[in-house]
Structures are given as C-alpha cells and as structure tokens.
Amino acid sequence: MVTLEHYLVLSALLFALGIAGVMLRRNLIVILMSLELMMNAVNLSFVAFSRYLGSIEGQIFVLFVMVVAAAEVAVGLAIAVAVFKQRGTININDISLLKW
Amino acid sequence: MIPVPEINLGGVLPALILGVAGLLATLLGLFVRKGAATVGAIIGFTAVLIALAANAPLRFMNTPAFSGMIVLDTFSWFFNLLILLSVGLTILISMKYLTDQGLDLYEYFAILLFSSVGMMFMVSGTHLLMIFVGLETLSIGVYVLTGVLPKSSKASEASLKYLLLGSFSSALFLYGAALLYGASGSLSLAGLAKYFQSGSVSTMGLIGMGLLLVGFSFKVAAVPFHMWTPDVYDGAPSPITGFMSVGVKAAAFAAFLRVFFECFGSAQVTWSHILWILAVLTMILGNLAALVQSNIKRMLAYSSIAHAGYILIGMVAGTAMGAAGILYYLLAYIFTNLGAFAVVTMVGRKGEANISIDDYRGLGKSHPALALAMSIFLFSLAGIPPTAGFIGKFTIFGAAIASGYIWLVIIGVLTSAASVFYYFRVVMKMYMEAPEVEPESLKFSPSMALALTLTVMVVLYIGIFPTTYLNLATESVKSLF
Amino acid sequence: MIESYVPILVTFLVATFIGSAIIVLSTVLAKRNPTPIKLMPYECGMDPIGGARQRFSVRFFIIGMLFIVFDIELIFLFPWAKIFNQLIPFGFIEMLLFVLVLLVGLVYVWKKGALEWE
C-alpha cells in the first residue's frame, strides 16, 4: 500500500537531490535542471497532500508552479545564452567577474 | 452552471492600470522607429500618475476581491502607494540612465511595470498562491532588468546569480507552502491563522513556517541569506539597483509582515527568537562589510542589507507600533535610497565608469547641488536628524524598547553609529578632497532634476514634519492586528 | 489490494528474463567479425555527418524558450475547456483576456524577428 508518507519521503529526497545539484554541479544547464527538480519535488508533495486532504487547492497550486517554473527556466536559458556569448563558457566557476 | 465568484476589480485597480500600460508600452514600442524608450517611459510615468490618482480614494476600503485571494485593506493600500512611488521615481531616473548609455530600450519600462504589478499582487495577496505568483512575477521581471545591458558581461553575470539564488529561495518558499498546506489543509492566510490559533501545531507546520521565513529572508536580503545582494546590486544598472533596494524590499517586507503577523501571530514566541538573531547578524555584518567597500554601489548594497536588519527589529518588536515603524521606515527609505541611486546614476556616466567612491572627490566644488543632495541622502541613511531616516530609526527603536528588547536596540544604535563612518567618508571625499583629473561637467536632464528635487524635498519634509506620515503608517497597520 | 499487482510482477519478471536471455545468448553464441562499416552508427542508411555531441545553433535555444513559455500556458486551457459549458459567458471573456495577453507576447516575438530562421 502506498501511503502519503511514501510520497512525502520521495518528494523530500528529490528536493534534497535538487539542492545537492544546485550546490555541487558546475554546469549552468545542470543547475537549472536541478532547480526544476526542486520545484517538481514540491509539486509531488502538493499533489499527494491534495489527494490526502481531499481538497483541490493543492492541484491548482501545482499548475501555477509549473507555469512559473517554465517562465523561470526560459529566462534562465536566455541569460545563459547571453553569458555564453560573452564568455564562451557556461561553467559557473569561470563566471566570476564579481566576487561572491 | 458554476456561479461566478465575486470579482471586485476595484481591489486591483492600480495593478490593472500598470499592467495595461505595460502591454501598451510593449506594443507601441514595436511600431515606433526612434525614441521608443521615451515613449515607454512616458506611458509608464503616465500610468503611475493615473494609478496614484485611482489609488487615492481607495483608502479605508476593506474589501476582499477575487473570492478572497486578494484583499484591499489599509495595509495593501499603503504598500501600493509605496510601490507606485518607487516605480515612478525609477522611471524618471532610468530615462536619464538610458540616454547616458545610448540605449533605446522600451522593453525596460514594460518589464518595470510588469514587475510592479507582481509586487502589488504580492502585498495584497491573502493566499499563499497569490503571494507566490506575485513574488515570481516581480522576481522574473527583476532578473531580466538586472541583465538588460546588452554589452555588459558584469550585468549578465549579476542577473545569472540573481536568477539562480532567487529561484533557489523561491523553491524553499514553495516547499514551506506545501508543508503548511499538508499540516493545516489550507493555503489561505485565514485558514492558516485558524490552524496556528488552535494550539496543536505539528512539526511539519513549524518546518513549513521556517522555510517561508528563509524564503522571505532571501528576498529582503537578511544575513545569512544575503550572499547575492552585493554582486547583484553591483552588476545591475544603477536605477534598477535602486528599484531593487526599495521596491523589491518593500514588497517582500509587506508579504513577510502580512504572513507572519496575520497567520503565525499566535506562534510569535517561536519566530521572534529567530528574527532576533537574524536582525543582529544582519545589522553587524551589513555595516561592517560596508566599511571596507571602495565601490559606491557595493557600499550601498551592504548598507541596504544593514537597513533590512533595522527593519527586522520592528518585526521582532511584534507590536502595531513596530509595524507602523516599519511602514514609515520604508517610506523614508524609498525616497532616500532612490535619491542616492539617482546621484550614483548621474555620477556614473556612460558604461557606469565612475562608481568608485574616489570618483566623488571634488563633487562639492564642481556640482554643489548634487553634492548637497547626496549629503542629505547619506545623512538620512545614517539616521541623522532632521532627515526622514532619523524618524524611521527612532520609531522602530522606540517600539522595540516598548516591547522590552533593550539589547537589540543597543546593538542597533551601536551599528548605526558605526555606519556614520562610511557614509561620512563619501561626504568627506565630496567636500574635502580634490580629484586628480577634473572630470567633464555632468548634464542634468529634466526628468533627473525632477527626481532629485522630489526626493530631497520629501526626505527633509517627512523628517521635519513626520506626524502626518506616522499617523498614516499607524492607521495602515490596523488591518493586520 | 496487493494481489492485483501480481500480474504486473509476473510480466515484469518474464520481460526481464527474456531481455537478459537474448543479450546473454547472443554475446555467448554469436560470431564476431567487426569491420569499420559495421561499427559505424546507423543514421537511416546515410553516412554519418558528424558526432552526435556537436554544438547546436543558438537559434534552437530561442525557439525552445518560446516553445516552453507558449506551450506551458496550455495548462490553464485544459481545465477551462473541461467545464467551458458551465462557464459561459464569464469564463469565455476571462480566457479571451488571458489569450490576449499572450497574443501581445506573440506579436512582440514576431515583430522582433525571433521566429525568422535566417
């Protein structure tokens, strides 16, 4: 029997994987993918809660999160292209004109 | 048939006006051959004026709109006003900036308007979904604006960093919302408030609250979630930096206040400890780091972090007086900081070549009016009477003392004494030192002159006669308590 | 409840067995006689033009970005279409406004020439 806890654990694991990806990976595209993974992990939680609570609100939230995530990735890719045109690299370590 | 929910367009009137103006600017700009940026700026500025006029009679309305997703109360009214003021001033400053850089970007103004629409939804949202969508609309707009300079690799790098850390914090915010939803079964602030009042708050609910706190702390740039601030403020175009430091900060604080006072008010004991620590760290680190900066934009970035710390004191106080102090502080901060960034834009010239503090040497001699304005803004940032910044700090510290946070206030006073040092360094450079090479004289544009005059006058006026505005702030927070 | 998953488990096991058996048997039994032409990647019978890991034109990114944004907005159209009958006329006007905003974006993209391939 698959219970709410299973979904929550899976969602937490995916979210943690996303965080690890953002922190550890150096390729910009992979980082953007990891951000997407974090958002979608949250979506999983929302849907599981929505089913568990019998309320539709969580599912509606998911639709909005998907759209927002898409918009964010589109802007992220645009910026990545701009950075690549200027520097010829999308490795985060090489993008350091401004010190952190 | 499904019954049509109550819409109440009046509740979103200012946002609606700005949104339509943004679309109009996008379309018209496409068909204008030359001077499209001016068209965009004029449309934007007119829309801001119309929205200000439309906003004025909405005071003291207390109406939910869109089936309770949004509320127009005195609190959101006040923040709508703040946002309109900051957008209007930013448009004025940007006109001069874009001319200086030789750019004809009408999209700039359209995106500026769209992100202020996001801010307005964020400050008036009474549902986590609305707050999230508002937050993202505002953030995505600002990510683009940060990297808007086509040739500057500094700007695109700043925008990249902002995007990565901003979406990271949004994801944390989102996870918090999901956990709160699971714990309480509701995403509306009213439902969450009921759940927290019931007394039996689960661990999941508390973790959700903590994640929301982290998400908001990122947006208001509180230490230790401030890493993006100096880089982004440094790389972004100066008017946008000003806009971020006031508009984005005001909107984020508005949602922060609304969520934490309205929903989690009954759990205040839990979160005020965390905010206490955040406030202390933010004040100390912000001010110390600002001491050693040689770039004026980075210095103002760290100063803006420090100011987030002072505002957090008002939240820790947790009373209506503290919240009113925050509102007044933000009002003063908008004029002060946008004024300071207007001067930075003026002095920066083409390609923002002159953004080192050393470039301010001799400004007192070559441009006395500009130097005087900058000194007034810096005094206000440092909290020296008779400027608006003094009254803001005074009110917030007073509220914290009334709630018994003596140590917090002592740290606040000490750090703002330290801050006087780096603000005065700029004033000293302007009046006491001479530049190595006498630079070309700066040219004022009418819009820039208007922006500078307005900001200087308001900073002095609400500093000398603060009562009306303090009352305005006090009335505005009534809907929260 | 759990019993109803048994057929799926059986299918899974059989599929795994057949799949691995074919691979193992063919590696053990088959004769090997590699020639350069045999080792070439198969691209519909044509000679390969280049490695699969070469760079793509940056124009694909722009098209991809536009695709993401415009495609994902359909998400809102699906639930709306499901209950469209019960939402006339309010829902229709509402969606018209939504699409109008997207249309402004499309006009912008079009006029800016992002849809031109050359």
Distance from the Cα of B320 to chain C's closest Cα (Å) equals 39
Query: What is residue B286's predicted lDDT score, i.e. its pLDDT?
Result: 93
Query: What is residue C116's predicted lDDT score, i.e. its pLDDT?
Result: 79
8-state DSSP, B69: T
Q: Name every residue whose Cβ is closer than 8 Å to that of residue C118 and which is 6 or more positions away in sequence.
A: none
Interchain CB distance below 8 Å, C90 and B4:
yes
Query: What is residue C43's predicted lDDT score, i.e. its pLDDT?
Result: 67
Query: What is residue C52's predicted lDDT score, i.e. its pLDDT?
Result: 63
Cα torsion at B408, B413, B418, B421 (round to 10°)?
A: 150
Query: What is residue B242's predicted lDDT score, i.e. its pLDDT?
Result: 94
What DSSP string describes B126-162? -BHHHHHHHHHHHHHHHHHHHT--SS-HHHHHHHHHH
Torsion B179-B218-A72-B133 (CA) sign = positive
Alpha-carbon span B326 to B50, nearest angstrom = 27
Where is B63: in which H helix or E strand? strand B63-65
Query: What is residue C7's predicted lDDT score, i.e. its pLDDT?
Result: 83
Predicted structure pTM score: 0.89
Q: Name every residue whose Cβ is closer than 8 Å to that of residue B432 and which is 6 or more positions away in sequence.
A: none
What DSSP string describes chain C? -GGGGHHHHHHHHHHHHHHHHHHHHHHHH------HHHHS--BTTBPP-S-TTPPPPTHHHHHHHHHHHHHHTHHHHHHHHHTGGGGTTHHHHHHHHHHHHHHHHHHHHHHTTTT---
Tokens in use for B40? 């965009």
Enumerate residue ranges in chain B where pLDDT < 50.
Answer: none
Distance from the Cα of C77 to chain B's closest Cα (Å) equals 17
The CATH number of the structural domain formed by A4-87 is 1.10.287.3510
CB pairs under 8 A between A and B: 112
Alpha-carbon span B388 to B248, nearest angstrom = 20
Alpha-carbon span B83 to B69, nearest angstrom = 20
| Bond into B466 cis (ω within 30) | no
Q: Is the pLDDT of residue A100 over 60?
A: no
When pLDDT is cut at 50, 70 and 90, the band that residue A50 belongs to is very high
The beta strands (E) that lie in B320-373 are given as none
Q: At what angle do helices B388-402 and B406-432 cross, to 10 degrees?
A: 170
> How many C-beta atoms surround the C-beta of residue B93 within 10 A?
31
Tokens in use for A33? 């993918």
Where is B71: in which H helix or E strand? strand B70-72
8-state DSSP, B57: G
Q: Is the pLDDT of residue C1 over 70?
A: no
Out of B163, B168, B181, the one facing A79 most closely (by C-beta) is B163
With H, G, I as helix, E, B as strand and everything else as coil, classify residue B70: strand
Chain A residue with Cα closest to B139: A72
With H, G, I as helix, E, B as strand and everything else as coil, classify residue B401: helix
Residues 26-85 of A with CB under 8 A from B: 28, 31, 35, 38-39, 41-42, 45-46, 49, 52-53, 55, 57-58, 60-61, 64-65, 68, 71-72, 75-76, 78-80, 82-83
Q: What is the pLDDT of residues C41-56, one digit of tens each?
A: 776 766 666 666 666 6
The domain ranges of chain B are 13-480
Complex-level ipTM = 0.95
Q: Name every residue whose Cβ is closer than 8 Å to that of residue B267 and which is 6 or more positions away in sequence.
A: B196, B201, B206, B209
Tokens in use for B18? 């700005």
Distance from the Cα of B186 to chain A's closest Cα (Å) equals 8
Beta bridge partners of B188: B127
Higher pLDDT, A98 or B268: B268
Tell me which amino acid residue A10 is. Answer: L
Which of A60, A81, A90 should we substitute to test contact with C (largest number of C Cβ atoms within 10 Å)?
Answer: A81
Distance from the Cα of B151 to chain A's closest Cα (Å) equals 8
Query: What is residue C91's predicted lDDT score, i.e. its pLDDT?
Result: 86
Longest dimension (CA), chain A: 53
- Do B331 and B342 touch, CB atoms closer than 8 A? no
Beta bridge partners of B127: B188
Q: Is the pLDDT of residue A99 over 60?
A: no
Higher pLDDT, B367 or A89: B367
Alpha-carbon span B387 to B360, nearest angstrom = 22
Alpha-carbon span B240 to B149, nearest angstrom = 11
Beta bridge partners of A91: A27
Q: What is the pLDDT of residues B302-338, one digit of tens each?
A: 999 999 999 999 999 988 999 999 999 999 999 999 9
Interchain CB distance below 8 Å, A95 and B159:
no
Q: Residue B46: CA atoms inside 13 Å, Cβ hemisphere, count? A: 11
- Do B116 and B87 touch, CB atoms closer than 8 A? yes
Query: What is residue B113's predicted lDDT score, i.e. its pLDDT?
Result: 96
Q: Let me know if B389 is exposed, middle or buried by CB neighbors in 10 A (0-12, 13-18, 19+).
A: buried
Alpha-carbon span B239 to B225, nearest angstrom = 23
> How many C-beta atoms surround the C-beta of residue C35 within 10 A?
7
Higher pLDDT, A45 or A100: A45
What DSSP string describes B278-318? HHHHHHHHHHHHHHT--BHHHHHHHHHHHHHHHHHHHHHH-
Closest CA to B335 of B465, B249, B458, B251: B458
- Do A57 and B180 touch, CB atoms closer than 8 A? no
With H, G, I as helix, E, B as strand and everything else as coil, classify residue B193: helix
Q: What is the pLDDT of residues B44-101, one digit of tens each?
A: 999 999 999 998 888 877 888 888 889 988 999 999 999 999 999 999 999 999 988 8
Q: Flag whether residue B26 sits within 8 Å of chain C, measured between CB atoms.
A: yes
Alpha-carbon span B338 to B90, nearest angstrom = 7
